């Protein structure tokens, strides 16, 4: 066990509780908020009306900032900051992208700085309080302190983190995810598994309790995804899926494991920055390739353990193939072609990674030759 610090003050309201958020905002002293949401889905489902009505009933005024895209972009976040001049809190209603862009707006408005400075490393010293109603469980952003945004001009997809952007309250209502497009459920499943696997494979240490904790989440994601694909209205399965998403990236999996890195995210961020593919779709393509490279390179026994514990397979090789097959079986892409990316673009992708990714990651392991090796395994 390595030393660690842990702090996660997000209040989770799990269940049919989205109508409470307006009263909570009021009780916390907010009389005008920025209401951030995505594309048209919350208008179709009636959630938009429900939120507007509860805000009105609670006498909380709001300025709307809709249209957040699924890979949220800098220009739209900047517009949000402009609108946030006179409000005291942000209400994010949507999935991880809406929450991530809201964190950007919360910090940039709180610090009166340009949004992109945050992603370039400016320390966050102030942020407007953030309240969340989650409509898609995947990124874990509802219970963590991180945010990812794409600068669509420079094609950079970067992240920042600060305890100041932890949501104050996150409502997670699994029933709200039941209208979700099936593809997005699949991408979400891959994203959750990716969050767990990055830590599981790259950590310095592997305490048994953490190994089992990670395997538990992955097994639940596999099982509940299959149930939900058969029966989209199984709210119990959606509930367990939602808990998996939150646990996968709220800090619990990395307690005591020492340093770890996110190489699959590093590579995928360049795919979605360049081609605007869904993050989970990109990860489904990257993970099996990275894992083949990683096992070839390190013969790390964690991969054997993963194969046995998660898929009941005899060895690492079979386990990697089982994961890849499962991605394919649920409908996730596993080749660049399926993502609509030409294999000839590999050098262009590597250039983007080298330009954007954290320097220490690149210098330590992922030089362009290694990246080429990995991408050639796709």
Q: CA 236 to CA 242: how far, in whole Å?
A: 10
Give the residue from 192, 372, 193 showing the smallest Cα distance to 293: 372
- Rule CB under 8 A: say whether 244 interacts with a copy of itself: yes
Question: Closest separation between CB of residue 123 and a copy of itself, Å?
Answer: 17
Among positions 159, 213, 321, 322, the unique one binding a copy of itself when judged by CB under 8 A = 213
Give the residue from 143, 180, 155, 146 showing the smallest Cα distance to 39: 180
DSSP class of 365: T
- Rule CB under 8 A: say whether 12 interacts with a copy of itself: yes
Give the residue from 264, 364, 378, 249 showing the smallest Cα distance to 324: 378
Say if residue 342 is exposed, middle or buried (CB neighbours under 10 Å; 0-12, 13-18, 19+): exposed
Question: Closest separation between CB of residue 250 and a copy of itself, Å?
Answer: 10
The residue (of 254 and 272) whose beta carbon lies closer to a copy of itself is 254
Question: Closest separation between CB of residue 238 and a copy of itself, Å?
Answer: 8
- Rule CB under 8 A: say whether 216 interacts with a copy of itself: yes
Among positions 182, 236, 259, 297, the unique one binding a copy of itself when judged by CB under 8 A = 236
Candidates 125-133, 189-197, 215-223, 332-340; binding stretch for a copy of itself (CB under 8 A): 215-223
Q: CA 227 to CA 234: how far, in whole Å?
A: 7
Candidates 44-52, 56-64, 131-139, 233-241; binding stretch for a copy of itself (CB under 8 A): 233-241
What letters, b where the CB count within 10 A reaches 16 and e where it falls short, cover 205-235?
A: ebeeebbebbbebbebbbebbebbbeebebb
Candidates 50-58, 177-185, 217-225, 346-354; binding stretch for a copy of itself (CB under 8 A): 217-225
- Rule CB under 8 A: say whether 208 interacts with a copy of itself: yes
Residues that bind a copy of itself (CB under 8 A): 1-17, 174, 207-209, 212-213, 216-217, 219-220, 223, 235-236, 239-240, 243-244, 252, 255-256
């Amino acid at each position: 066990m390595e030393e660690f610090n842990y702090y996660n003050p997000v209040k989770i309201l799990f269940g049919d509780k989205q109508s409470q958020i307006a009263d909570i905002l009021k009780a916390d002293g907010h009389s005008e908020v920025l209401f951030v949401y995505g594309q048209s889905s919350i208008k179709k489902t009636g959630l938009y009306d429900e939120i507007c009505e509860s805000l009105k009933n609670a006498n909380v005024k709001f300025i709307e900032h809709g249209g957040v895209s699924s890979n949220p972009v800098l220009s739209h976040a900047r517009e949000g900051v402009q609108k946030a001049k006179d409000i005291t809190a942000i209400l994010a209603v949507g999935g991880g992208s809406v929450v991530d862009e809201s964190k950007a707006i919360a910090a940039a408005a709180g610090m009166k700085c340009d949004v992109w400075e945050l992603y370039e490393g400016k320390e966050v010293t102030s942020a407007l309080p953030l309240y969340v109603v989650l409509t898609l469980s995947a990124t874990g952003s509802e219970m963590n302190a991180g945010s990812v945004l794409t600068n669509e001009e420079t094609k950079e997809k970067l992240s920042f983190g600060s305890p100041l952007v932890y949501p104050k309250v996150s409502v997670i209502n699994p029933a709200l995810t039941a209208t979700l497009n099936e593809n997005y459920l699949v991408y979400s499943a891959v994203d959750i598994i990716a969050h767990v696997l990055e830590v599981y494979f790259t950590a310095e240490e592997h305490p048994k309790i953490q190994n089992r904790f990670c395997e538990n989440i992955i097994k639940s994601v596999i099982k509940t995804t299959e149930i939900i694909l058969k029966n989209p209205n199984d709210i119990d399965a959606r509930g367990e899926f939602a808990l998996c998403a939150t646990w996968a990236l709220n800090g619990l999996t990395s307690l005591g494991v020492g340093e770890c890195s996110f190489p699959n995210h590093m590579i995928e961020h360049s795919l979605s920055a360049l081609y605007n593919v869904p993050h989970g779709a990109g990860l489904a393509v990257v993970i099996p390739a990275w894992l083949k490279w990683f096992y070839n390179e390190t013969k790390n026994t964690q991969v054997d353990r993963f194969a046995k514990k998660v898929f009941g397979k005899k060895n690492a090789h079979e386990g990697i193939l089982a994961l890849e097959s499962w991605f394919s079986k649920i409908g996730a892409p596993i080749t660049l072609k399926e993502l609509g990316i030409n294999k000839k673009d590999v050098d262009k992708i590597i250039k983007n990674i080298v330009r954007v990714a954290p320097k220490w990651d690149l210098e330590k392991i992922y030089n362009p030759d290694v990246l080429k090796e990995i991408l050639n395994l796709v």
